[in-house]
Amino acid sequence: MKRSVMFWLAIFASVLLLVFKFFEWQLVGLFTVFFLPVIWLVFYGFFIVAGVLSIVQWVRKKDWKPVTVIAVTTLLVFLIPFHQLAIQTDFYWNKQKRLEVIEQIDNQTLEPNVSHNDTLIELPTKYRSLSSGGDVVLEKQSDRLSVLFFTSRGVLDNFSGFVYSENGEEPDRRDFGGDFKEIVPMGEKWFFVSSS
């Protein structure tokens, strides 16, 4: 292989993997968690093949550039908290639209509308992308209303998402039928939760 071709292959495989790592959980939301091994196989497999070819290029032709690109990318994959970056980006990118949904729930323009569950609101088309599955869950207690926007929905009771707490109090570990392992403040009245 020409050196320049191997270098560009390493660059391409690296960029592809880094973009995948940033959007990994959005892809899971689009497809399903059961499809994740196939997605991993495609992206990591391509990167590993490019890595092996880069090592061969380095050993045979003393061309260190492709293997350096692969090594730096490998370090980035392990050092950069891609999942946390994606959560932060999702939260700040969609916060205003989520507040519009909260306002509509407050003024009762949006109410539970799923026949089998009186705490579930299927969002209008305009807002479906704000919550995985296109719906939100209400948790009403005596003095507070909380709304859960899903970021991911796993199998059975595994889920994560953003909770808006009307009075600003941290959600209870058992809210929304979950068992929260993680509750992270995201801003005034907002929390990121993860249940398993």
Q: What is the pLDDT of residue 121?
A: 92
Rounded distance, CA 136 to CA 100, Å?
A: 13
pLDDT tens for 26-66 read 777 666 667 778 888 999 999 999 999 999 989 988 889 99
Q: What is the pLDDT of residue 113?
A: 84
Look at the alpha carbons of 20, 22, 28, 30 in this order and tell me if their dihedral is positive or negative: negative
Q: What residues are paired with 122 via a beta bridge?
A: 135
| DSSP type of residue 155 | S
Mean pLDDT, 10 residues at a time, the chain of 196 residues: 78 95 77 79 95 92 92 96 91 96 91 85 92 89 86 77 92 86 92 90
Q: What residues are paired with 193 via a beta bridge?
A: 161, 183
Amino acid at site 158: N
144-153/135-141 β-pairing? antiparallel
Q: What is the pLDDT of residue 156?
A: 61
What are the residue boundaries of the structural domains of the chain, listed by start? 3-80, 84-195
Element housing 138 (H / E): strand 135-141
| pTM for this model (two decimals) | 0.79
Q: What are the C-alpha distances in Å from 38 to residues 25, 33, 104?
A: 14, 10, 39
